[in-house]
Each structure stands twice: as C-alpha cells, then as structure tokens.
A and B are shown apart, each in its own frame.
Chain A
Amino acid sequence: MNITVLYGTESGNSELIAEDLAAKLNEDHTAEVFDLADFDPNNMTADKFYILVCSTHGEGELPNTALPFWDALNAAAPNLDGVRYAVFGLGDTFYEETYSHGSEILDKRFTELGAKRVGEYGRHDASSWDLGTDLALEWLPGVVEAFEAETVS
C-alpha cells in the first residue's frame, strides 16, 4: 500500500507525529511524509491513501505550514473523486470554541472536492499532556483497516 502522510504545523508537534506514523507504516507499507507547505494538491491521486496530521492555530485557523497548500487547493479546486484520506487533528480544549478546527477546515474542503474520509477522526488535545504519537499510533491501525476495507469492496 502506498501512503502519503501530510502534516500542517506551527510548533512542530504534527511533524513529529507524521514522522512517527510514517516510520510505523513503513514496516509493512510504503509511506512518504510531506509538509503541506511542500505538497501540491494537484498531485493527489486515487491510488494512494492520504493521512493528514494537522494542528489548529490563531482562533480555529490552519497552522502556518498548511496555508500555501490551502491557497493552492482553493485556486486549483482539483477533482478529488476517489481519493481517500484519514485525519488526525491537533488542538487544545483550552480553546473551547475552536477546539481542533484547523484540520476540520481541510477535511471539509477535501470532502467538497469529492474525496472521502475513512476511519475514525483522530484527535490530540494539548491540555491532556498525552503524547501525540502514542494516541496517533493507537489510532493508526483502525484507519488503515478502514482504508483496506474500502479498497477491497
């Protein structure tokens, strides 16, 4: 299975989680990691599985490194029919009203463009002091399974 792990970050937590997910995935599959800042949305294809790890900054906004991708995504509005992805969102419940909204912005747009989210929506809350990687690695098998189930049917 070919997997692309994409991350959007501002203080670096999402990057570490993305790298840890890719390292785990590379045990059985082929996974690559990209900062969203270095990834062109026009390159998203239906034969790959995308895992998005993305935090929230400002007031419920995307983190800095996701912004160029967001602009490119909106400018090109590529047809993402058949593209499958999973989301692990980072946030902080201290920000009650905008908790974890950052990744949701991309999730919503991906769906609008025809892509399909599979598996559970993963979350990490900075107020918990949980290690993001621990939660993400627990979450990972579920979404991989969900993706495999999708592609078989």
Chain B
Amino acid sequence: MSTTPSVAIIGSGPSGCYLAQGLRKHWPEADITIFDQLASPFGLVRYGVAADHQSTKAVTRQFDRLFERDNVRFAGNIRVGEDVTLEQLQQAYSVVAFATGLTQDRKLGIEGESLPGVFGAGVITRRLNSHPVVEEGPTTFGDRVVVIGNGNVAMDIVRFLIKRPDDYEGSDINDALVESYNAARAKRIDVVGRSVVADAKCDALMVKELGKIEGVRFSTAADCTVPEGADRATSGRIEAVRELNELEPAGNVDTEVVFHFGYAPEKIIGETSVTGVDFTPTTSAGEALHIEAVSVIAAIGFELQADASQMFGNDVPQLTATPETGRFGQGLYRTGWFKRGPRGTIPENRADAKEVTDEIIADVEGGVITTLPSQTGFAALPESVQEKAVSFVDWQRLDAHEQATANAGRIRTKISDHAQMVAIAKNN
C-alpha cells in the first residue's frame, strides 16, 4: 500500500488546475489527471472571462506548465458520467476531486420568464467565447434591451451591447456574432439591479471601462453620494457610476444606457414575445418601474447544471455549498465554484483549492485514504477512455491552429464545433 495517491480531477478550470498544483507540490510522483468534457482546458477562463479581457485569461500561462513541465496529465474530451463513470474513475484512482463549476444560468423565477426574448447571460457569454456546446441563442436583441443584474457579468454583457466590431482589437471574440449584432444594435439598454449603488456587486473598474467606449450616453437617477464610512470598493464604485452619469459622451451618440439601482424584477410582460418588464423597488423610497423591452438578458448568477447528477450515476449525493470542507464522500472531494457556490474571481479559487489540497493530504497521510496497487491512475482506465482522451499536446495543436487562423486584429479564432476541435487536436 502506497502513501502516494493517484488523483483524478474532473474539470480543468482554475480550481481544478490550482488543486493539481498543490497536490503535485506535495506528491511529485503521484499520477494526477485532469479530465474535461471539452477538448480544450481552462473552463471559464476560456469560456466565461470576456474575450476583450485577454490579460485575465493570461493566468493560463501559469497553468500550462502543470502539463508541460510538472507531469500533470490532461484528458480532454472525456465527460464524466458519459464517457467514463465515477465508479470507473474510483477503480483507477484513490482520490477523485470534482472541480466541475456551476454554469447554468440561474432562473429569475418570475412570470413571463419563458417568453421568447428572455436570455441568460451565461448563454451569451459562452457564445461570445465560441463555446462548442451552446444552447440555441440569438444574434440580435432588438432595439431595446433590459439587462437584469448589476454584477461584473452584467457589466460584461453591457460592454458587449455597446461595443462595435472595431473595439475588439487584440481579442478572440466570436466575430460572426459581433458582426450580426452590430447590424441591428440595441439603441437603448436599461440595466436594472436589485441592490442600491453602495451594495451593487460590480467593481468600479468594470464601470469605468464602459465610459471609455464611444457613442454612448450613460445616465442614472440613483443617488451617488458616498455614505459615511464606506470602504474603498464601495466608494470607488459609487464614484465610478457618478462619473459615468456626468460623462460627456464621445463620438456620434446612438446608444443610451440607463442604470437603475434598487429594483427587483416582478414580471416579464408580453403575449408572444417580450414587450417589457415590471419591477418593484427594493427600498422604501423607490416606486414601481415599467420598462419597455424587446429582449431581456438576466445576469443574476449561476447554478448547478441540470445534467450534473449524471456524473454520480445512481448515487447522487446532497450537494449544497459547503465552504468549510471539500470532502463529500470516501475519497471524494470538490473545489471551486462547485464547492463554494457561483461567486468569486479566479484568485479565490486558488485559496479554496489550497484548503482542499490540505484536506486531501491530511486524509491520505492520516490513513483515511489508501491507494490500492491496482489504482495506478490513467493507465488503469478502460482503453477506450484512454484512446478518446485529448492530451495536452493535442490541445496545443488546436491552440496553435486557432492562433494561426486568427482574423485580422484578433489573436485567435476559436473553433466552435466540438467534433472539429477534437479532429484538429488529434490531427485526424
């Protein structure tokens, strides 16, 4: 019996990669495999983080070396629950850690939500990032759009709605989507959040970035005085909103963005498709609000994918967020958004993965987990799984292809068909 475990990590987003880093540091010899359902690694860094925020995506340079140098194996194109079962993984590995994220748009839970013209932000941000298994989605949103939510993802959506194709220099945006949207742009965008400015979830910098985009007039009726004793983040955000409100628009103004703080959606109005949204105030000072709209984009957070239970076969565990522990079964752990809930930036997953790393180390060294001689890791998996897997070298082939075929002014053009991604990766 060995005290070096074999580790299967499911999900190659930041939390999976940080977990592999920590475990590799402790066990230089352990067989560590990161599985992903996609042929490409890095989860939301590739498919959530905005295409025009490339420096945020640069964290992948750090993760690259896990695979290039630190001998962590990438096994892409393997969906746990479909291509391999949890049981099979547990036969081959003594530790199985889920870092599968939370990617389904949270529902508004109000009347009218299923009308045509209502979309989740996750669907749109995936499409902007050319995600290969994307739900049906629109390319235009009509001339009046309501964005519900005032977190950073809502700001990503607003930025997309007001930018023009020329504003994406140096990105890897889905050009087809941007072009077709640009041919029928929204003229007025109402951004409505439940929180007052002081409690809004967006960072000042995300707000300031909007102000750099030409052709847009911003306004808000919100009170932008900084409350006494406000922390830096709060006062920064309030100042940023106030500056947008006072900004003299540059360029030819053809788009209007109006921010409303302190309103909760009550009902989406429309017979055959959206015509407007009713809001109720969340503060005693506010009054009911009706906003006309052709489409609604809800950026109110994420939840567990409906098909996630598939990963667990028949024995689906209770899975509410547990910030305090990563362990949820014998030899089973979780980290990242799948553990803590759909909140927090990339760096927060590092701190979280460190804690789970320590838990796993304690369990292995405390004898809670024993590694059987048969649990040799990847080599112990069925041959069909090994053959289907896209390796890191395969991914690098796809990566190089995407960069080499980039459109003018772009750093890459992503392949958005998964079968084609696999074919290019495997050089078939």
A interface residues, Cβ below 8 angstroms from B: 10-13, 16, 57-59, 63-64, 92-95, 126-127, 129, 131-132
CB–CB B347/A16 < 8 A: no
Interface class of chain B by DSSP: helix
Q: A57-B347, A64-B351, A95-B205 are in contact. Are A16 and B62 (CB under 8 A)?
A: yes
Task: Identify which of B21, B54, B233, B350 contacts A10 (C-beta below 8 A).
Answer: B350
By the criterion CB–CB under 8 Å, are A16 and B350 in contact?
no
Question: For window 1-60 of chain B, which residues contact chain A by CB distance below 8 Å?
Answer: 18, 21, 53-56, 58-59
B interface residue numbers (CB < 8 A to A): 18, 21, 53-56, 58-59, 61-62, 65, 204-205, 232-233, 236, 346-347, 350-351
> Considering the chains assembled together, what is the distance between the CA atoms of A126 and B61 in angstroms?
10
Q: Bound complex: CA of A124 vs CA of B18, how far in Å? A: 21
A64 touches B54 (CB 8 A): no
Between A and B, 7 residue pairs with Cβ closer than 8 Å are A10-B347, A10-B350, A12-B59, A12-B350, A93-B55, A94-B55, A132-B61
The chain B residue sitting closest to A61, CB to CB, is: B232
Task: Give complex CA distance A92, B55 in Å.
Answer: 7
Complex contacts, B56 vs chain A, CB 8 Å: 126
User: Which residue of A has the minimal Cβ distance to B22?
Assistant: A12
In angstroms, Cα B205 to Cα A11, docked, is 19
| Interface residues of chain A: helix, strand, loop or mixed (majority) | loop
Beta-carbon contact of B346 and A11 below 8 Å: yes
Give the residue name and chain of the A residue nearest to B63 (CB): A12
Rounded to whole Å, the gap between the CB of A107 and the closest CB of chain B is 21
Please name all residues of chain A whose beta carbon is closer than 8 Å to the beta carbon of B204 when the two chains form the complex: 59
List residues of chain A with CB within 8 A of the CB of B61. 129, 131-132
Q: B54 touching A127 by the CB < 8 A rule?
A: yes
- Chain A's nearest CB lies how many Å from the CB of B44? 14
Complex contact B55–A11 (CB within 8 A)? no
Contacts of B232 in A (CB 8 A): 58-59
Pair B347/A64 contact, Cβ less than 8 Å:
yes
- Residues of chain B within 8 A (CB-CB) of A95 are 205
Q: Which B residue sits closest to A94, measured CB to CB? A: B55
Decide if B58 touches A126 in the complex (CB within 8 Å): yes
